[in-house]
Amino acid sequence: MTDVRTVSATHPAPGVLSRIFRTEQDGAPGDGHEQVVLCHDRASGLKAIIAIHSTALGPALGGTRFHQYASEEEALEDALRLSRGMSYKNALAGLDLGGGKAVIIGNPAAKAEGGDKSEALLRAYGRFVQSLAGRYITACDVGTYVQDMDVVARECDYVTGRSPEQGGAGDSSILTAFGVFQGMRASAQARWGTPTLRGKRVGVAGVGKVGHYLVGHLVADGATVVITDVSETAVNRVRAAHPDVEVVADSQALLASSLDVYAPCALGGALDDDTVGALTAAGTSVVCGAANNQLAHPGVEKDLADRGILYAPDYLVNSGGVIQVADEIDGFNFERAKNKATKIFDTTLEIFTRAASDGVPPAVAADRLAELRMREISALRTILLPGARRG
Protein backbone atom coordinates (compact mmCIF):
# COMPACT_ATOMS: atom_id res chain seq x y z
CA MET A 1 0.00 0.00 0.00
CA THR A 2 1.78 3.06 -1.22
CA ASP A 3 -0.43 6.09 -0.93
CA VAL A 4 -3.52 7.19 1.00
CA ARG A 5 -4.62 10.82 0.73
CA THR A 6 -7.70 12.82 1.49
CA VAL A 7 -9.23 14.44 -1.55
CA SER A 8 -8.02 17.87 -0.40
CA ALA A 9 -4.48 16.81 -1.28
CA THR A 10 -5.41 16.34 -4.93
CA HIS A 11 -6.76 18.50 -7.74
CA PRO A 12 -10.41 17.43 -8.16
CA ALA A 13 -12.86 18.87 -10.62
CA PRO A 14 -14.02 22.44 -9.87
CA GLY A 15 -16.83 22.46 -7.36
CA VAL A 16 -16.22 18.95 -5.99
CA LEU A 17 -14.69 20.17 -2.73
CA SER A 18 -17.66 22.45 -2.11
CA ARG A 19 -19.95 19.44 -2.61
CA ILE A 20 -17.98 17.36 -0.12
CA PHE A 21 -18.01 20.04 2.57
CA ARG A 22 -21.56 21.26 1.92
CA THR A 23 -23.88 21.37 4.91
CA GLU A 24 -27.64 21.10 5.17
CA GLN A 25 -27.76 24.88 5.58
CA ASP A 26 -26.07 25.68 2.26
CA GLY A 27 -27.10 22.68 0.20
CA ALA A 28 -29.77 20.07 -0.25
CA PRO A 29 -30.37 17.79 2.75
CA GLY A 30 -27.95 14.89 2.63
CA ASP A 31 -25.27 16.72 0.64
CA GLY A 32 -21.74 16.73 1.99
CA HIS A 33 -19.47 13.78 2.78
CA GLU A 34 -17.64 12.82 5.95
CA GLN A 35 -14.54 11.45 4.25
CA VAL A 36 -13.19 10.84 0.76
CA VAL A 37 -9.99 8.83 0.30
CA LEU A 38 -7.94 8.40 -2.85
CA CYS A 39 -6.07 5.11 -3.04
CA HIS A 40 -3.09 4.47 -5.33
CA ASP A 41 -0.91 1.37 -5.39
CA ARG A 42 1.70 1.74 -8.11
CA ALA A 43 2.87 -1.87 -8.04
CA SER A 44 -0.55 -3.30 -8.91
CA GLY A 45 -1.89 -0.31 -10.84
CA LEU A 46 -4.72 0.25 -8.39
CA LYS A 47 -6.50 3.59 -8.57
CA ALA A 48 -9.52 3.71 -6.30
CA ILE A 49 -11.75 6.18 -4.48
CA ILE A 50 -13.56 5.41 -1.25
CA ALA A 51 -16.33 7.87 -0.36
CA ILE A 52 -17.93 7.80 3.08
CA HIS A 53 -21.08 9.90 3.00
CA SER A 54 -22.48 9.29 6.48
CA THR A 55 -21.89 7.19 9.58
CA ALA A 56 -24.89 8.66 11.40
CA LEU A 57 -26.49 5.23 11.67
CA GLY A 58 -23.30 3.18 11.94
CA PRO A 59 -20.33 2.11 9.78
CA ALA A 60 -20.70 2.99 6.11
CA LEU A 61 -21.68 0.00 3.97
CA GLY A 62 -21.61 0.02 0.18
CA GLY A 63 -20.20 -1.93 -2.72
CA THR A 64 -17.09 -1.53 -4.85
CA ARG A 65 -17.67 -0.58 -8.49
CA PHE A 66 -14.93 -1.50 -11.01
CA HIS A 67 -15.39 0.61 -14.13
CA GLN A 68 -13.43 2.15 -16.99
CA TYR A 69 -14.26 5.79 -16.30
CA ALA A 70 -13.49 8.45 -18.89
CA SER A 71 -11.58 10.43 -16.25
CA GLU A 72 -10.64 10.44 -12.58
CA GLU A 73 -13.04 13.34 -12.10
CA GLU A 74 -15.92 11.25 -13.45
CA ALA A 75 -14.97 8.43 -11.08
CA LEU A 76 -14.98 10.84 -8.13
CA GLU A 77 -18.39 12.20 -9.07
CA ASP A 78 -19.73 8.64 -9.29
CA ALA A 79 -18.32 7.72 -5.88
CA LEU A 80 -19.87 10.81 -4.29
CA ARG A 81 -23.26 10.20 -5.88
CA LEU A 82 -23.36 6.48 -5.14
CA SER A 83 -22.21 6.83 -1.53
CA ARG A 84 -24.92 9.39 -0.81
CA GLY A 85 -27.46 6.98 -2.26
CA MET A 86 -26.23 4.24 0.06
CA SER A 87 -26.88 6.40 3.13
CA TYR A 88 -30.49 6.80 2.06
CA LYS A 89 -30.85 3.17 1.01
CA ASN A 90 -29.51 1.81 4.30
CA ALA A 91 -31.64 4.23 6.31
CA LEU A 92 -34.88 3.24 4.56
CA ALA A 93 -33.96 -0.45 4.84
CA GLY A 94 -33.91 -0.05 8.61
CA LEU A 95 -30.23 -0.98 8.89
CA ASP A 96 -27.90 0.38 11.57
CA LEU A 97 -25.40 1.27 8.87
CA GLY A 98 -24.32 4.43 7.13
CA GLY A 99 -23.57 5.00 3.48
CA GLY A 100 -20.34 4.59 1.56
CA LYS A 101 -19.15 3.51 -1.86
CA ALA A 102 -15.89 2.74 -3.58
CA VAL A 103 -14.90 2.84 -7.22
CA ILE A 104 -11.88 1.21 -8.83
CA ILE A 105 -10.81 2.90 -12.05
CA GLY A 106 -9.99 0.49 -14.85
CA ASN A 107 -11.13 -2.35 -17.06
CA PRO A 108 -12.93 -4.86 -14.80
CA ALA A 109 -11.86 -7.84 -16.94
CA ALA A 110 -9.10 -10.03 -15.58
CA LYS A 111 -5.53 -9.14 -16.52
CA ALA A 112 -5.24 -12.41 -18.43
CA GLU A 113 -8.13 -11.21 -20.61
CA GLY A 114 -6.63 -7.80 -21.28
CA GLY A 115 -8.20 -6.04 -18.30
CA ASP A 116 -6.83 -4.54 -15.09
CA LYS A 117 -8.25 -6.85 -12.42
CA SER A 118 -5.67 -9.00 -10.64
CA GLU A 119 -5.11 -10.65 -7.28
CA ALA A 120 -2.44 -8.07 -6.48
CA LEU A 121 -4.78 -5.17 -7.27
CA LEU A 122 -7.67 -6.58 -5.24
CA ARG A 123 -5.43 -7.32 -2.27
CA ALA A 124 -3.96 -3.82 -2.42
CA TYR A 125 -7.51 -2.47 -2.41
CA GLY A 126 -8.28 -4.64 0.62
CA ARG A 127 -5.39 -3.07 2.51
CA PHE A 128 -6.79 0.41 1.85
CA VAL A 129 -10.22 -0.62 3.15
CA GLN A 130 -8.56 -2.20 6.21
CA SER A 131 -6.74 1.07 6.89
CA LEU A 132 -10.11 2.74 7.56
CA ALA A 133 -10.54 0.47 10.60
CA GLY A 134 -14.19 -0.38 10.02
CA ARG A 135 -15.55 3.04 9.05
CA TYR A 136 -16.26 1.52 5.63
CA ILE A 137 -17.49 -2.01 4.88
CA THR A 138 -17.32 -3.08 1.26
CA ALA A 139 -19.22 -5.55 -0.93
CA CYS A 140 -19.84 -6.32 -4.63
CA ASP A 141 -21.11 -3.86 -7.21
CA VAL A 142 -20.92 -3.46 -10.99
CA GLY A 143 -17.69 -5.08 -12.17
CA THR A 144 -16.94 -6.93 -8.93
CA TYR A 145 -18.11 -10.37 -7.87
CA VAL A 146 -18.23 -12.75 -4.94
CA GLN A 147 -14.87 -14.27 -5.83
CA ASP A 148 -13.34 -10.79 -5.89
CA MET A 149 -14.58 -10.11 -2.36
CA ASP A 150 -12.97 -13.36 -1.21
CA VAL A 151 -9.64 -12.02 -2.50
CA VAL A 152 -10.16 -8.59 -0.90
CA ALA A 153 -10.96 -10.35 2.40
CA ARG A 154 -7.49 -11.92 2.45
CA GLU A 155 -6.24 -8.46 3.43
CA CYS A 156 -9.31 -6.99 5.12
CA ASP A 157 -11.79 -7.73 7.91
CA TYR A 158 -14.48 -5.40 6.58
CA VAL A 159 -15.83 -7.29 3.57
CA THR A 160 -19.29 -8.69 2.88
CA GLY A 161 -20.81 -10.40 -0.15
CA ARG A 162 -18.34 -13.27 0.19
CA SER A 163 -18.85 -16.81 -1.04
CA PRO A 164 -20.76 -19.35 1.04
CA GLU A 165 -17.56 -21.42 1.18
CA GLN A 166 -15.95 -18.52 3.05
CA GLY A 167 -18.94 -18.03 5.34
CA GLY A 168 -20.54 -15.34 3.24
CA ALA A 169 -23.95 -14.64 1.78
CA GLY A 170 -23.02 -15.29 -1.83
CA ASP A 171 -24.78 -13.57 -4.71
CA SER A 172 -26.66 -10.53 -3.36
CA SER A 173 -28.57 -10.25 -6.65
CA ILE A 174 -30.96 -12.88 -5.35
CA LEU A 175 -32.47 -10.72 -2.63
CA THR A 176 -32.05 -7.55 -4.68
CA ALA A 177 -34.45 -9.02 -7.24
CA PHE A 178 -36.74 -10.32 -4.50
CA GLY A 179 -36.91 -6.85 -2.96
CA VAL A 180 -37.67 -5.19 -6.30
CA PHE A 181 -40.46 -7.69 -6.77
CA GLN A 182 -41.86 -6.75 -3.33
CA GLY A 183 -41.75 -3.08 -4.34
CA MET A 184 -43.51 -3.91 -7.59
CA ARG A 185 -46.21 -5.83 -5.70
CA ALA A 186 -46.72 -2.79 -3.46
CA SER A 187 -46.91 -0.57 -6.54
CA ALA A 188 -49.57 -2.86 -7.98
CA GLN A 189 -51.48 -2.66 -4.70
CA ALA A 190 -51.35 1.14 -4.76
CA ARG A 191 -52.25 1.46 -8.44
CA TRP A 192 -54.69 -1.41 -9.09
CA GLY A 193 -55.80 -2.47 -5.61
CA THR A 194 -54.19 -5.92 -5.58
CA PRO A 195 -50.59 -6.95 -4.78
CA THR A 196 -49.96 -9.04 -7.87
CA LEU A 197 -48.63 -8.54 -11.39
CA ARG A 198 -50.85 -11.26 -12.80
CA GLY A 199 -52.21 -10.19 -16.15
CA LYS A 200 -49.95 -7.12 -16.30
CA ARG A 201 -47.41 -6.46 -19.05
CA VAL A 202 -44.00 -5.78 -17.47
CA GLY A 203 -40.96 -4.59 -19.40
CA VAL A 204 -37.53 -5.35 -17.93
CA ALA A 205 -34.61 -3.35 -19.35
CA GLY A 206 -31.48 -5.26 -18.41
CA VAL A 207 -31.57 -8.96 -17.51
CA GLY A 208 -28.09 -9.38 -16.07
CA LYS A 209 -27.18 -9.97 -12.43
CA VAL A 210 -30.54 -8.85 -10.98
CA GLY A 211 -32.89 -8.64 -13.96
CA HIS A 212 -32.93 -12.34 -14.78
CA TYR A 213 -33.96 -13.20 -11.21
CA LEU A 214 -36.68 -10.55 -11.36
CA VAL A 215 -38.04 -12.09 -14.56
CA GLY A 216 -38.39 -15.39 -12.71
CA HIS A 217 -40.51 -13.78 -9.98
CA LEU A 218 -42.69 -12.02 -12.53
CA VAL A 219 -43.31 -15.12 -14.61
CA ALA A 220 -44.18 -17.10 -11.50
CA ASP A 221 -46.64 -14.35 -10.52
CA GLY A 222 -48.44 -14.57 -13.87
CA ALA A 223 -47.13 -11.42 -15.56
CA THR A 224 -46.50 -11.08 -19.29
CA VAL A 225 -42.81 -10.19 -19.50
CA VAL A 226 -40.96 -8.29 -22.23
CA ILE A 227 -37.18 -7.93 -21.99
CA THR A 228 -34.22 -6.26 -23.64
CA ASP A 229 -30.48 -6.31 -23.01
CA VAL A 230 -27.36 -5.35 -24.92
CA SER A 231 -25.93 -8.77 -24.02
CA GLU A 232 -27.13 -11.59 -26.23
CA THR A 233 -25.84 -14.06 -23.64
CA ALA A 234 -28.04 -12.51 -20.94
CA VAL A 235 -31.09 -12.61 -23.22
CA ASN A 236 -30.46 -16.22 -24.18
CA ARG A 237 -30.16 -17.25 -20.53
CA VAL A 238 -33.60 -15.79 -19.79
CA ARG A 239 -35.15 -17.30 -22.91
CA ALA A 240 -33.77 -20.73 -21.98
CA ALA A 241 -35.41 -20.54 -18.54
CA HIS A 242 -38.60 -18.77 -19.67
CA PRO A 243 -39.37 -19.47 -23.36
CA ASP A 244 -42.57 -17.40 -23.33
CA VAL A 245 -40.75 -14.16 -22.51
CA GLU A 246 -40.88 -11.65 -25.35
CA VAL A 247 -37.62 -10.03 -26.52
CA VAL A 248 -37.33 -6.61 -28.17
CA ALA A 249 -34.30 -4.98 -29.75
CA ASP A 250 -33.61 -2.09 -27.39
CA SER A 251 -34.97 0.19 -24.68
CA GLN A 252 -36.80 2.39 -27.18
CA ALA A 253 -38.70 -0.61 -28.49
CA LEU A 254 -39.41 -1.73 -24.95
CA LEU A 255 -40.81 1.67 -23.94
CA ALA A 256 -43.11 1.65 -26.96
CA SER A 257 -44.53 -1.81 -26.30
CA SER A 258 -47.64 -0.84 -24.27
CA LEU A 259 -46.31 -1.69 -20.82
CA ASP A 260 -48.19 -1.54 -17.55
CA VAL A 261 -44.91 -1.56 -15.61
CA TYR A 262 -41.44 -0.48 -16.69
CA ALA A 263 -38.50 -1.96 -14.76
CA PRO A 264 -35.12 -0.33 -15.50
CA CYS A 265 -32.51 -2.81 -14.29
CA ALA A 266 -29.31 -1.72 -16.05
CA LEU A 267 -27.17 1.37 -15.34
CA GLY A 268 -28.43 4.65 -13.90
CA GLY A 269 -30.00 7.66 -15.59
CA ALA A 270 -32.66 5.57 -17.32
CA LEU A 271 -35.46 8.02 -16.54
CA ASP A 272 -34.94 11.23 -18.51
CA ASP A 273 -37.33 13.61 -20.27
CA ASP A 274 -37.53 11.49 -23.41
CA THR A 275 -38.16 8.31 -21.43
CA VAL A 276 -40.95 9.92 -19.42
CA GLY A 277 -42.54 11.12 -22.64
CA ALA A 278 -42.37 7.64 -24.14
CA LEU A 279 -43.84 6.06 -21.00
CA THR A 280 -46.70 8.56 -21.08
CA ALA A 281 -47.40 7.90 -24.75
CA ALA A 282 -47.44 4.15 -24.14
CA GLY A 283 -49.82 4.45 -21.17
CA THR A 284 -47.38 2.97 -18.63
CA SER A 285 -48.68 3.23 -15.07
CA VAL A 286 -45.77 2.14 -12.86
CA VAL A 287 -41.97 2.43 -12.87
CA CYS A 288 -40.20 0.06 -10.50
CA GLY A 289 -36.77 -1.37 -11.21
CA ALA A 290 -33.41 -2.44 -9.81
CA ALA A 291 -31.08 0.14 -11.38
CA ASN A 292 -29.43 2.68 -9.08
CA ASN A 293 -29.88 6.43 -9.62
CA GLN A 294 -32.61 6.07 -12.22
CA LEU A 295 -33.57 9.76 -12.26
CA ALA A 296 -31.37 11.45 -14.85
CA HIS A 297 -31.78 14.91 -13.28
CA PRO A 298 -33.83 16.71 -10.59
CA GLY A 299 -37.42 17.27 -11.61
CA VAL A 300 -37.95 13.92 -13.35
CA GLU A 301 -39.69 12.59 -10.24
CA LYS A 302 -42.20 15.47 -10.40
CA ASP A 303 -42.73 15.00 -14.12
CA LEU A 304 -43.57 11.33 -13.54
CA ALA A 305 -46.03 12.22 -10.78
CA ASP A 306 -47.64 14.99 -12.84
CA ARG A 307 -48.20 12.54 -15.68
CA GLY A 308 -49.85 10.00 -13.37
CA ILE A 309 -46.98 7.50 -13.44
CA LEU A 310 -46.30 5.90 -10.06
CA TYR A 311 -42.55 5.78 -9.40
CA ALA A 312 -41.19 3.42 -6.74
CA PRO A 313 -37.91 5.02 -5.57
CA ASP A 314 -35.00 2.91 -6.75
CA TYR A 315 -32.92 2.97 -3.57
CA LEU A 316 -35.93 1.75 -1.61
CA VAL A 317 -36.97 -1.20 -3.76
CA ASN A 318 -33.46 -2.39 -4.67
CA SER A 319 -32.26 -2.55 -1.06
CA GLY A 320 -32.67 -6.32 -0.79
CA GLY A 321 -29.05 -6.81 -1.78
CA VAL A 322 -27.66 -4.55 0.92
CA ILE A 323 -30.00 -6.21 3.42
CA GLN A 324 -28.47 -9.55 2.39
CA VAL A 325 -24.83 -8.48 2.72
CA ALA A 326 -25.53 -6.56 5.95
CA ASP A 327 -26.90 -9.75 7.48
CA GLU A 328 -23.55 -11.36 6.74
CA ILE A 329 -21.80 -9.06 9.24
CA ASP A 330 -23.26 -10.99 12.19
CA GLY A 331 -23.22 -14.43 10.54
CA PHE A 332 -25.42 -14.92 7.50
CA ASN A 333 -28.87 -16.49 7.72
CA PHE A 334 -30.74 -16.43 4.41
CA GLU A 335 -34.25 -16.77 5.82
CA ARG A 336 -33.64 -13.95 8.31
CA ALA A 337 -32.35 -11.71 5.51
CA LYS A 338 -35.26 -12.65 3.24
CA ASN A 339 -37.75 -11.80 5.97
CA LYS A 340 -36.16 -8.34 6.28
CA ALA A 341 -36.31 -7.88 2.50
CA THR A 342 -40.00 -8.82 2.53
CA LYS A 343 -40.62 -5.61 4.52
CA ILE A 344 -39.77 -3.60 1.40
CA PHE A 345 -43.41 -4.19 0.46
CA ASP A 346 -44.66 -2.38 3.58
CA THR A 347 -42.11 0.43 3.35
CA THR A 348 -43.02 1.07 -0.28
CA LEU A 349 -46.70 1.35 0.61
CA GLU A 350 -45.77 3.72 3.46
CA ILE A 351 -43.85 5.93 1.04
CA PHE A 352 -46.81 6.07 -1.35
CA THR A 353 -49.12 6.99 1.54
CA ARG A 354 -46.77 9.71 2.79
CA ALA A 355 -46.38 11.08 -0.74
CA ALA A 356 -50.13 11.35 -1.20
CA SER A 357 -50.60 12.91 2.24
CA ASP A 358 -47.83 15.48 1.76
CA GLY A 359 -48.65 16.20 -1.86
CA VAL A 360 -45.12 15.32 -3.06
CA PRO A 361 -43.67 12.69 -5.42
CA PRO A 362 -42.74 9.34 -3.81
CA ALA A 363 -39.03 10.07 -4.34
CA VAL A 364 -39.34 13.18 -2.16
CA ALA A 365 -41.30 11.30 0.50
CA ALA A 366 -38.62 8.58 0.54
CA ASP A 367 -35.83 11.13 0.95
CA ARG A 368 -37.67 12.79 3.81
CA LEU A 369 -38.20 9.51 5.67
CA ALA A 370 -34.56 8.49 5.26
CA GLU A 371 -33.33 11.92 6.41
CA LEU A 372 -35.66 11.80 9.41
CA ARG A 373 -34.25 8.45 10.53
CA MET A 374 -30.64 9.63 10.09
CA ARG A 375 -31.32 12.79 12.11
CA GLU A 376 -33.18 11.00 14.89
CA ILE A 377 -30.69 8.17 15.33
CA SER A 378 -27.70 10.50 15.08
CA ALA A 379 -29.20 12.70 17.80
CA LEU A 380 -29.91 9.65 19.96
CA ARG A 381 -26.35 8.40 19.61
CA THR A 382 -25.05 11.84 20.56
CA ILE A 383 -27.13 11.81 23.75
CA LEU A 384 -26.27 8.23 24.73
CA LEU A 385 -22.61 8.36 23.76
CA PRO A 386 -21.60 12.00 24.14
CA GLY A 387 -17.94 11.24 24.69
CA ALA A 388 -17.71 9.22 21.50
CA ARG A 389 -19.11 12.09 19.46
CA ARG A 390 -16.66 14.76 20.58
CA GLY A 391 -13.67 15.67 18.43
**Average of per-residue pLDDT values in the chain:** 91
Which of 120, 139, 164 represents a domain boundary (last residue)?
Answer: 164
Tell which of 164, 188, 216 closes a domain: 164
CATH code of residue 13: 3.40.50.10860
288: domain CATH number is 3.40.50.720
295 in the same domain as 153: no
Whether residue 64 is found in the same domain as residue 212: no
Residues in CB range of 163: below 8 A, 6 or more apart:
146, 147, 149, 150, 170
Question: Residue ranges of the alpha helices (H) in 344-384?
Answer: 344-358, 362-384
Predicted local confidence at residue 203, as pLDDT: 98
Q: Do 153 and 182 belong together in one domain?
A: no
Instruction: Note whether 151 and 187 are same-domain residues.
Output: no
pLDDT at 26 (0 to 100): 47
**Shared-domain flag, residues 105 and 215:** no
Count of domains for the chain: 2
Examine the pLDDT at 24 and tell me if it is beyond 60: no
Q: Are 291 and 346 part of one and the same domain?
A: yes
Answer yes or no: do 156 and 272 share one domain: no
The per-residue pLDDT for range 233-250, each reduced to its tens digit, is: 999 999 999 999 999 999
- Indicate the residue among 140, 164, 188 that finishes a domain: 164
Question: Is position 381 within any domain?
Answer: no
What is the rounded CA–CA span in Å between residue 313 and residue 365? 9
Same domain? 353 vs 306: yes
- Summarize pLDDT for 345-379 with one digit per residue, the tens: 999 999 999 999 999 999 999 999 999 999 988 77
- pTM of this prediction? 0.86
| pLDDT at residue 55 greater than cutoff 90 | yes
Our answer to whether residue 101 is catalytic in this structure is yes
Position 384 scores a pLDDT of 60
102 shares a domain with 67: yes
* 382 lies in some domain: no
The answer to whether residues 256 and 366 belong to one domain is yes
Q: Per-residue pLDDT averaged across 329-352, rounded?
A: 96
How far lies 289's CA from each of 16, 34, 386, in Å?
A: 29, 29, 41
User: CA-to-CA distance for 293 and 86, rounded, in angstroms?
Assistant: 11
What confidence tier does 267 reach under pLDDT thresholds 50, 70, 90?
confident
Do 155 and 257 lie in one domain? The reply is no
> For the CA atoms of the chain, what is the radius of gyration?
20
> 285 φ, ψ to 5°?
-100, -30
Q: Is residue 110 part of a domain?
A: yes
Q: Which of 47, 89, 101, 117 is catalytic?
A: 101
Q: Which one, of 196, 244, 253, lies nearest residue 224 by Cα?
A: 244
- For residue 129, pLDDT over 90 is answered with yes
Tell me the residue range of the domain where 136 lies: 3-87+97-164
